[in-house]
């Protein structure tokens, strides 16, 4: 029987994004939150963090679900970004890359875990 992780890998191959090339981690002072700053592409300069990320299994498929909070929107409107399907897909690709890299961190990362109202 396939594991959930194997099913997730088969279901969708995210775009290969690289840390410190396409995105980088951003530590917020005096909190235990870790944000993500996008470095390249149409959303370069946007800083956000994930809220309530989870993988939900349904039969032989797994769905990556997450919320996000935009901290800095650079030259973009926060409302436009929240409605931009390509932006949300990119956040999913970045989160997928983080999950794939998970065992390689020198220090643990903390993401905001309260349920999002998205």
Euclidean distance between CA atoms 52 and 27, whole angstroms: 18
| pLDDT for 101 | 79
Nearest-CA neighbor of 109 among 11, 19, 15? Answer: 19
Separation between Cα atoms, residue 36 and residue 71, nearest integer Å: 10
**Rounded percentage of the chain residues whose pLDDT exceeds 70:** 73
% of the chain at pLDDT higher than 90: 47
Q: Once rounded to an integer, what is the mean pLDDT over residues 3-7?
A: 52
Q: What is the pTM of this model?
A: 0.72
Contact of 53 with 64, CB cutoff 8 Å: yes
Q: What is the pLDDT of residues 19-70, one digit of tens each?
A: 899 999 999 999 989 999 999 999 999 999 999 888 888 888 878 899 999 9
Strand order of the sheet with strand 34-38? 23-27, 34-38, 47-58, 61-72
């Amino acid at each position: 029987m396939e594991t959930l992780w194997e099913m997730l890998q088969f279901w969708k191959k995210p775009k290969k994004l690289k840390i410190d090339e396409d995105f980088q981690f951003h530590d917020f002072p005096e909190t235990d939150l870790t944000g993500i700053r996008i470095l390249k592409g149409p959303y370069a300069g946007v800083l956000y963090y994930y809220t309530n990320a989870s993988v939900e299994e349904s039969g032989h498929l797994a769905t990556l679900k997450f919320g996000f909070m935009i901290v800095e929107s650079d030259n973009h409107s926060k409302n436009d970004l929240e409605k931009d399907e390509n932006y949300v897909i990119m956040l999913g690709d970045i989160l997928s890359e983080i999950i794939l890299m998970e065992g390689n961190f020198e220090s643990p990362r903390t993401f905001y875990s309260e349920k999002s109202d998205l």
